[in-house]
């Protein structure tokens, strides 16, 4: 066993958080809006044909 200094863990590198892929979800609200609009238009066409 070593004698002397106690074990010191390495200090954290910085306050930077890891990249979690949040930038890839930028178009998700737009995709939802387009899907909602397409769904309502298909529903309108279906009711018009009946």
**Helix, strand, coil content of the chain in percent (nearest 5):** 50, 0, 50
Measured CA to CA, the distance from residue 31 to residue 29 in angstroms comes to 5
pLDDT at position 47 over 70 = yes
Q: Can you give the pLDDT at residue 2?
A: 60
Selected residue with higher pLDDT from 26 and 36: 36
Long-range contacts of range 27-31, CB-CB < 8 Å, 24 or more positions apart?
none
Measured CA to CA, the distance from residue 38 to residue 29 in angstroms comes to 14
Mean pLDDT (the chain) is 78
Region 15-29: mean pLDDT is 72
Q: Can you give the pLDDT at residue 1?
A: 54
């Amino acid at each position: 066993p070593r004698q002397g200094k106690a074990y010191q863990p390495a200090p954290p590198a910085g306050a930077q958080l890891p990249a979690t892929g949040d930038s890839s979800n930028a178009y998700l609200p737009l995709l939802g809006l387009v899907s909602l609009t397409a769904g309502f238009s298909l529903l309108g066409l279906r009711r018009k044909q009946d």
